[in-house]
Amino acid sequence: MANVGMNAAVILLFLPLVFSNVADAASLRINGGIPTVFDVLKFGAVPNGRDDCSEAFVQAWNAACHHPGGNAKLVVPPGNYKLLPAVFQGPCTSEQIVVEVQGIVTGSDQVSDYEESQWVLFENINGLLVTGGGTFDGSGRKTWKYNDCASNPDCQPLAAGLKFMNVTKGIVKQVTSLNPQGYHMALERCDDIEIDGMHLNAPKTSPNTDGIHISASNNVRVSESTIATGGNCISVDQGSTNVPVPKVTCGPKVLTTFTQM
């Protein structure tokens, strides 16, 4: 009996340590309590891979973002959701916002559908977690032929798959980015960002599909991620500080095509 008691005490002693390690920037996730759920299906999204779900996504986002206080969670259940370029904009009144993508979000393969330099944009948000094990499929294959950056110094980059602008205290975790038109992920004017357990996947032949493009940002940590792509693995522009990159695999062997950084 004495032994059992001691073991329990030892375990209890270790628990807070484990949590404080995992937490770090993530601590805001644990403190905030159970989030209120906003399901895109309730906002009219049809997961058949054909109907445009942009409006439903943005409405669900706005409801979550303007949830008064507490945590809010935007949920994308399993299924295939066609999404035209969409902006998920803050500032939010919810304390923190979780975007849980379980399904596949599929972009348009028509370059003409993209007016800006990205597909999915998260902007002006303090306290964001994007996760859920789902996939953002940029449908970039048909668009790569329009990339002329190898010969044209003034080329317009194709749309980045996931862009984060002025996001602070952000975590992007366990999500797949597949075949973006341009960069898989782009960060601009962000601070305190953790990118973890990501799978960024595009063939070697995809031009300028950098894995993660970081500009004017501070404290970006990339870990435990696999990046297979045609451009740079991680590119850091001037004006960014403190960008350590431990445990990132560029071009894992299980994939047939890859580019090393």
Q: Which residues bind ligand NAG (CB under 6 A)?
A: 90-91, 124-126, 166, 168
Nearer to ligand NAG, 176 or 219 (CB): 219
In the bound complex, what is the minimum distance in angstroms from residue 168's beta carbon to ligand NAG?
A: 6
Contact in structure between 55 and 81 (CB atoms under 8 Å): no
User: What distance in Å separates the CA atoms of residue 168 and residue 156, rounded to the nearest whole number?
Assistant: 27
Give me the count of residues in the chain: 261
Nearer to ligand NAG, 46 or 216 (CB): 216
Count of C-beta atoms within a 10 Å radius of residue 15: 10
Beta bridge partners of 1: none
Q: What's the token pair of residue 129?
A: 């977690």
Count of alpha carbons within 13 angstroms of residue 32, beta-carbon side: 20
- Tell me which residue has tokens 């109907």: 51
In the bound complex, what is the minimum distance in angstroms from residue 104's beta carbon to ligand NAG?
A: 29
Nearer to ligand NAG, 52 or 123 (CB): 123
Nearer to ligand NAG, 190 or 245 (CB): 190
Count of alpha carbons within 13 angstroms of residue 124, beta-carbon side: 8
In the bound complex, what is the minimum distance in angstroms from residue 244's beta carbon to ligand NAG?
A: 24
In the bound complex, what is the minimum distance in angstroms from residue 167's beta carbon to ligand NAG?
A: 7
User: What distance in Å separates the CA atoms of residue 36 and residue 49, rounded to the nearest whole number?
Assistant: 27
In the bound complex, what is the minimum distance in angstroms from residue 88's beta carbon to ligand NAG?
A: 13
Nearer to ligand NAG, 72 or 158 (CB): 72
In the bound complex, what is the minimum distance in angstroms from residue 33's beta carbon to ligand NAG?
A: 20
Nearer to ligand NAG, 168 or 201 (CB): 168
Nearer to ligand NAG, 101 or 125 (CB): 125
In the bound complex, what is the minimum distance in angstroms from residue 227's beta carbon to ligand NAG?
A: 27
